[in-house]
Amino acid sequence: MHLWQRLFPAVAVAPVKVPERCPGGGPRVAGPGVELTRRRVTRASGASLEVTIVLDPPMGTYDHLQGVLSVEFSLLEYGDFECPYCRSAAPVIRELRERLGERMVFGFRHFPLAEIHPFALPAALASEAAAVKGRFWPMYDRLISGDEPRLRQEDLRRYAEEIGIPPEHVVWPATQFVEDRVEADFNSGVRSGVRGTPTLFVNGKRYHGTVSVGDLLTAIEKSAGHAEK
């Protein structure tokens, strides 16, 4: 069974509801700087409670990281290289990292929506093949940059040459050996309640607001305040 066929039975892709996220993004809480998404759980007794959606597994050394895990703040993205909203989020995340500097670690996990983005999965695999050579972030920058995605085989080969990797290493069939890594990221997203891209987690808890520098900074500050209580 092909990798995308293994991934997509795991998640039902809903119709587009949120203009800043590729399908299927859930409803958003209105207003700036809302920090958490919550899931309502109904017990057998009929009583209900709200449970904060957290990252499963937490960020760790197995993730692709910019920064170190011991710092004050963390931001993790589940992303798709072909998703236009992930591309729009990239400069926001870059500016956020510049503002917070060494106080924040950023991590990226794959959530390729292969049924609607045919080039997302090959791009994810290419980035993981580059990671084996220690070149994940240079490949990430090329895959996510620009107003329009350029993710065809010839593009992936060109990016590989630009970052000093043999081009045949980042395309099928050479990328078969990194399929498990992409699948593991995707499955962790499903466990963490991800249904669209980009989905962000601030300090391990799902962010549920607009993808802007101001709102993300507000969410990070609120999250730090909760942690201190």
How far apart are alpha carbons 77 and 93 in whole angstroms?
9
CATH number, domain of 48, equals: 3.40.30.10
Q: What is the pLDDT of residue 21?
A: 64
Please say if the pLDDT value at position 11 is more than 50. Answer: no
Q: Which residues span the domain enclosing 47?
A: 3-228
Better-predicted residue by pLDDT, 153 or 32:
153
Structural domains in the chain (count)? 1
Q: How far apart are CA 17 and CA 24, in angstroms?
A: 7
CA dist., res. 1 & res. 64, Å (int): 27
Can you give the pTM of this predicted structure? 0.80
Residue 66 backbone phi and psi in degrees, to 5: -115, 105
DSSP category for residue 12: P
Q: In the predicted model, what is the mean pLDDT of residues 188-196? A: 95
CA 161 → CA 103, 129, 148, 174, distances in Å? 33, 13, 21, 15
